[in-house]
């Protein structure tokens, strides 16, 4: 029994650790975007598969018995590929995705938008925005070379940032006090983020809301319909279960 975890998230690492500790054969797959990723226990492979065809080939070649798509909520392409590859090879597939921030008590006061360009449009009047939307979204905001944008990234940007922008390189989790200090020190007048969900990066939302700073939040992309679990514990139970009703039809305990 070989379980392929499509990873790149803390949940994927936790899942791999738990399954390896259980004695299961686990391969974690990483896209290879991050310079020095925290590697999960068990086997690890790095790099794209070459689309759905390549992934299907990989599943066959490595006799993968089930796939957990534990990729980030904003990584949409790999999830479509995973569904297609699972379909073609009749491999059970489940999606592990942490809940988003829609349920946050203040979420009704935030402006929800579909993408980076829409976020820039609704925050057009801001003079000192705080951007925590990730490295891949930065081109959407490059027209803001005329203002003092504070950007926080985990990895260095792949292209030079506009001269006026200030870069903070750090990795969460972040505290409420620390986030409040950043918002105040830089006189931030809008927080632009994306609905990553979870608690590691949530404090900025509370801090901004308490300070009366508007929050613009990019909603998660559309996803293929795949059985969906929200916690690592539920996914461990699914992986241990031998209740196999066919590829994505395998029941959720």
Ligand X SMILES: NC(=O)c1ccc[n+]([C@@H]2O[C@H](COP(=O)([O-])OP(=O)(O)OC[C@H]3O[C@@H](n4cnc5c(N)ncnc54)[C@H](OP(=O)(O)O)[C@@H]3O)[C@@H](O)[C@H]2O)c1
Residues that bind ligand X (CB under 6 A): 6-9, 29-31, 33, 48-51, 54-55, 71-72, 74-78, 81, 134, 136
Strand order of the sheet with strand 129-132? 111-113, 215-218, 190-194, 129-132, 150-153, 166-169
Write down the least CB distance from residue 137 to ligand X, Å. Answer: 8
For residues 37 and 34, give the distance between their C-alpha atoms in angstroms, rounded to a whole number.
Answer: 6
Write down the least CB distance from residue 14 to ligand X, Å. Answer: 14
Write down the least CB distance from residue 132 to ligand X, Å. Answer: 11
Q: Are 220 and 2 in contact (CB under 8 A)?
A: no
Task: Tell me which DSSP letter residue 54 carries.
Answer: H
Write down the least CB distance from residue 48 to ligand X, Å. Answer: 2
- CB within 8 A of 233, min separation 6: which ones? none
Q: Which is nearer to ligand X, 55 or 236 (CB)?
A: 55
The CA distances from residue 55 to 18, 49, 52, 80, 183, in Å, are 24, 5, 5, 11, 43
Q: Which is nearer to ligand X, 155 or 189 (CB)?
A: 155
Helical H segments across 36-126, by residue range: 51-61, 77-89, 116-122
Write down the least CB distance from residue 45 to ligand X, Å. Answer: 8
Q: Which is nearer to ligand X, 25 or 148 (CB)?
A: 25
Q: Which is nearer to ligand X, 114 or 211 (CB)?
A: 114
Q: Which is nearer to ligand X, 54 or 253 (CB)?
A: 54
- Ranked by CB distance to ligand X, the top (closest) residue is 48
Beta strands in 128-223 (DSSP E): 129-132, 150-153, 166-169, 190-194, 215-218
**Cα first-last separation, the chain:** 19
Q: Which is nearer to ligand X, 83 or 248 (CB)?
A: 83
Write down the least CB distance from residue 103 to ligand X, Å. Answer: 20
């Amino acid at each position: 029994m070989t379980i392929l975890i499509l990873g790149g998230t803390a949940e994927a690492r936790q899942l791999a650790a738990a399954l390896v500790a259980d004695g299961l054969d686990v391969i974690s797959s990483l896209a290879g975007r991050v310079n020095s990723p925290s590697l999960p226990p068990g086997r690890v492979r790095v790099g794209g598969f070459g689309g759905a065809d390549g992934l299907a080939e990989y599943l066959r070649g490595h006799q993968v018995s089930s796939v957990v798509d534990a990729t980030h909520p904003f990584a949409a392409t790999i999830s479509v590929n995973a569904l297609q590859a699972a379909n073609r090879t009749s491999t059970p597939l489940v999606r592990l995705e942490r809940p988003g921030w829609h349920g946050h008590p203040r979420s009704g006061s935030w402006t929800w938008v579909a993408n980076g360009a829409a976020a820039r449009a609704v925050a057009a009047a801001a003079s000192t925005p705080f951007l925590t939307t990730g490295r891949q979204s930065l081109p959407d905001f490059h027209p803001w070379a005329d203002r003092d944008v504070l950007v926080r990234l985990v990895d260095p940007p792949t292209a030079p940032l506009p001269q006026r922008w200030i870069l903070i390189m750090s990795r969460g989790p972040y505290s409420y006090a620390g986030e409040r200090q950043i918002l105040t020190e830089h006189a931030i007048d809008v927080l632009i983020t994306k609905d990553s969900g979870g608690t590691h990066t949530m404090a900025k939302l509370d801090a901004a809301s308490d300070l009366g700073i508007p929050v613009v939040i990019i909603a998660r992309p559309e996803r293929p319909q795949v059985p969906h679990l929200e916690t690592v514990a539920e996914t461990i139970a699914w992986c241990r279960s031998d209740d196999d009703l066919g590829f994505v039809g395998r029941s959720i305990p």
